[in-house]
Amino acid sequence: MKIIVTVKQVPDTQEVKIDPKTGTLIREGVPSIINPEDKNAIEEALRIKERHDDVDVTVLSMGPPQAESALREALTMGADGAVLVSDRSFSGADTLATSYLLSRAIKKIGKYDLILCGRQAIDGDTGQVGPQLAEVLDLPQATYAEEISIRGNGVTVKSNFDSVTRVIEMKTPALITVTKRINRPRFKTMNGVLRAFRDKKVATWTKDDLKLNPMRIGINGSPTWVRKTFVPSHNRDGLVIEKKSGEMAEDIMNYLLEKTLFRL
Amino acid sequence: MTLCYEMDEKYKMIRLAVREFAESEIKPVAGELDEKEEFSVSLTQQMGDIGLFGMIVPEAYGGQGLDYISYIIAMEEVARVDGSQAATLAAGNSLGINPIDKFGSEVQRRKYLPDLCRGKTLMGFGLTEPNAGSDAGATNTTAVKDGDSWIIRGRKTLTTNADTPMTKGSIVQAVTGQRPNGRTDYTCFIVENGTPGFTLNTLKRKLMWRGSNTAELFLDNCRIPSDAILGNPGDGFKQMLETLDGGRLSIGAMGLGCAQGAYEAALRYSKERVQFGRPICKQQAIAFKLADMELKIELARNILYKACWLAENKRPFGKEAAMSKLYCSEIAREVADEAVQIHGGYGLFKDYDVERFYRDQRLLQIGEGTSEILRIVISRAIGC
């Protein structure tokens, strides 16, 4: 069985600050990490590998050359192979161009049974790439997975939505996006580091390695543009009421009712 | 052109892997284990699970197959969070595992290394005696040959990892005779726990490393088979010196990690603590302390990594190992001291990690060669 896991390298948003003038992320000195839910997807693929015979886990990422370190980390966790698609012409891609490009890379990887993706990335928060990738590849999909079980060429996916649990059964090949509740990613081992660097390879593919429609990649292939990012300002001035205590209580009550913060 | 200050990606991954583990699994329990003076078997096994034992032992013997710099970075990262667990690891690797890997017979390596490297067992290294500390030549423990075995009598003390529920035994150095030139012959023996006449006592009420095990060993006419000799009879002194050279690098890493942890805590606190209307890090008296800390840590890391590089490339590294251990442990004291100073009165309480760092650093100028002995080593190396 072959599992492909898509991975995005993101800035550690716990450490990230936003430049209040430009509204963009200050990336300098901010560590890059594997997008947390992508890490859950890698972990789930590795658990499937441990439960079943002959499972190969390949991780795939689109990104700048330094995204190799995210793939190397996935190899350290136990993935078997890694592919980085990286080219200047890919930059500026929105989720549509990204899922198109990933689909082309997956076509080149060849036969597969399962594609696992993190539900969404902590930097963009769109949650679109997984579902779009399934559409481009014309695959059945299940999102927000919290439990995955595989039997023969069928896969059962359980997801929880507030008070509802949804169970989907699909035939493979299929695509599943997972949430952070599905598992707790393992710790990397020392020998895992050794093997990731000594025995495993990260293949890097550029636009020349893939059959691409130039109008569907990078900025050309991206119908959505980010117009503006900004830091919402929190106004904490408060409301000052200076009256006699009886009238003041009434004013406060009216204010709360008016703002529907309180109901009689 | 071989001078290169860029760290290989592999080393960055080692650091990331150990940091994630230490922050997530060690940090939350370090204070409690310290306070209760408790050695944790489960935490030690967890450290074994991620491969922190047997880091430089070949994979064929269950080791991780890594190099010295990887090992040192791992020790540094554990010490950045907790000196006690770093002590268990440094002693486990440098004093328990490495001598068996380096000097042991094939049978001994097969017998002990796989479990030691998996973190299932621990091995102590009994060198210090009540009357033989810096003066290792004053060793009183003796071993006398009796048929196909040896009878060991004596007492060892301050031995890390020797008396835990997972300890397999200890390597014990004993006097085994006199050479024709008048020099004393030393031999190292692997003495397993449970050997008749071998008893242990865990030493309590320590100032530092309270989550690690320190024990004294009593050998009352212990009969040890000849095949328990580590290497050859008479090699004991040379083995001890070589083991300590390597061990000094890991103590150096503990000093560096301790300094790093204390410094980061102080830097964080100095940005939050406001006095005279500004965070104290914006006040020169505190800012200069932090600048000095960063400077000392940078210098310490440079000499330590250089010594590792020498060791890895099979060059003489005794002087640099001594310099690393001396410098890293002394700056650990200075940095931990200033970290407490920056915390003010709060730094005196166990609610803040710097209180523990301040105590834990104190061993580093004593264990595996005192600062004074290290100055002797360095001065001899330069021909004094």
Rounded Cα gap, residues A38 and B39, in angstroms: 36
A203 and A252 fall within a common domain: no
In eight-state DSSP terms, residue A232 is P
Rounded Cα gap, residues B256 and B305, in angstroms: 11
Rounded Cα gap, residues A230 and A25, in angstroms: 10
B13, B21, B49 ranked by CB distance to A193: nearest: B13
Q: Could you count the other beta carbons within 10 Å of the beta carbon of residue B82?
A: 29
Closest approach of B45 to chain A, Cα-based (Å): 13
Question: Which CATH number do you get for residue A116?
Answer: 3.40.50.620
Rounded to 5 degrees, φ, ψ at B80 are -60, -25
B10, B17, B52 ranked by CB distance to A197: nearest: B10
pLDDT score for A223:
92
A194 and A240 fall within a common domain: no
Chain B (214-273) residues lying within 8 Å, Cβ to Cβ, of chain A: none
β-strands A164-171, A154-161 pairing? antiparallel
pLDDT score for A79:
98
B20, B24, B50 ranked by CB distance to A190: nearest: B50
Residues of chain A contacting residue B12, judged by C-beta atoms under 8 Å apart: 69
Instruction: Domain count for chain A, please give it.
Output: 2
Q: Nearest Cα to A217, choosing from A111, A130, A100?
A: A100
In eight-state DSSP terms, residue B164 is S
A23 and A135 fall within a common domain: yes
pLDDT score for A125:
86
CB-CB contact of B75 with B98 (8 Å): no
Q: pTM, whole model, 2 decimals?
A: 0.92
A187, A194, A196 ranked by CB distance to B64: nearest: A194
Residues of chain B contacting residue A73, judged by C-beta atoms under 8 Å apart: 13, 16
Rounded Cα gap, residues A143 and A129, in angstroms: 11
pLDDT score for B1:
60
CB-CB contact of A143 with A119 (8 Å): yes
Burial class of residue A13 in the structure, from the number of CB atoms within 10 Å of its CB (0-12 exposed, 13-18 middle, 19+ buried): middle
pLDDT surpasses 90 at A226: no
Q: Is residue A103 part of a domain?
A: yes
Query: What residues are paired with A113 via a beta bridge?
Result: none
Alpha helices in chain B (DSSP H): 9-21, 27-36, 41-49, 68-79, 83-90, 98-103, 106-118, 236-272, 284-312, 318-343, 353-364, 371-381
Residues of chain B contacting residue A82, judged by C-beta atoms under 8 Å apart: none
Residues contacting B151, CB < 8 A, separation 6+: B143, B144, B221, B222, B223, B224
Q: Does B282 touch chain A (CB under 8 A)?
A: no
Q: Is residue A14 part of a domain?
A: yes
Q: Is residue A10 part of a domain?
A: yes
A15 and A44 fall within a common domain: yes
Residues contacting B215, CB < 8 A, separation 6+: B124, B159, B162, B163, B200, B201, B202, B203
Q: Is residue A243 part of a domain?
A: yes
Residues of chain B contacting residue A189, judged by C-beta atoms under 8 Å apart: 17, 49-51, 64
Q: What residue type is B372 in one-letter code?
A: E
Binning pLDDT at 50, 70 and 90, where does residue A124 land? confident
Locate the chain A residue with the closest alpha carbon to B11.
A193
pLDDT digits (tens, 9 = 90+) for A92-114: 899 999 999 999 999 999 999 99
Rounded Cα gap, residues B62 and B325, in angstroms: 29
Rounded to 5 degrees, φ, ψ at A205 are -115, 135
Tell which phi-psi region holds residue A3, choosing left (phi > 0), alpha (psi between -120 and 50) or beta.
beta
> With an 8 Å Cβ cutoff, are B66 and A192 in contact?
no
A212 and A239 fall within a common domain: no
A263 and A176 fall within a common domain: no
A61 and A121 fall within a common domain: yes
Q: Does B51 touch chain A (CB under 8 A)?
A: yes
> With an 8 Å Cβ cutoff, are A188 and B10 in contact?
no
Q: Does B12 touch chain A (CB under 8 A)?
A: yes
ipTM of the complex: 0.93
> With an 8 Å Cβ cutoff, are B9 and A72 in contact?
yes
Q: Is residue A222 part of a domain?
A: no
In chain A, the percentage of residues whose pLDDT exceeds 90 is 71
A87 and A141 fall within a common domain: yes
pLDDT digits (tens, 9 = 90+) for A3-56: 999 999 999 877 777 777 776 777 777 889 999 999 999 999 999 999 999 999
Q: How many CB pairs under 8 A join A and B?
A: 58
pLDDT score for B247:
87
Query: How long is chain A?
Result: 264
A170 and A62 fall within a common domain: yes
Mean pLDDT confidence for A143-160: 95
pLDDT surpasses 70 at A71: yes
Q: Is residue A224 part of a domain?
A: no
Mean pLDDT confidence for A217-226: 90
pLDDT score for B316:
93
pLDDT score for A30:
84
A26 and A111 fall within a common domain: yes
For chain B, the farthest-separated pair of C-alpha atoms sits apart, in whole angstroms, at 79
Binning pLDDT at 50, 70 and 90, where does residue A254 land? confident
Rounded Cα gap, residues A49 and A2, in angstroms: 9
Residues of chain A contacting residue B16, judged by C-beta atoms under 8 Å apart: 73, 188
B12, B20, B51 ranked by CB distance to A190: nearest: B51
A151 and A261 fall within a common domain: no
Helix (H) or strand (E) holding B275: strand B274-275
Query: How high is the mean pLDDT in each 10-residue block of chain B (384 residues)?
Result: 84 97 98 97 98 97 96 98 98 96 97 98 95 88 96 97 98 94 93 98 97 98 96 93 88 98 98 96 98 98 95 92 97 98 97 97 94 96 95
Residues of chain B contacting residue A190, judged by C-beta atoms under 8 Å apart: 14, 17, 50-52, 55, 64, 66, 70, 74
Domains annotated for chain B, with CATH where assigned, are 9-122 (1.10.540.10), 124-234 (2.40.110.10), 238-381 (1.20.140.10)
Domain span holding position A257 = 235-264
A88 and A129 fall within a common domain: yes
Query: What residues are paired with A174 via a beta bridge?
Result: A114
B368 is catalytic: yes
Binning pLDDT at 50, 70 and 90, where does residue A234 land? confident
Q: Nearest Cα to A97, choosing from A62, A143, A59?
A: A62
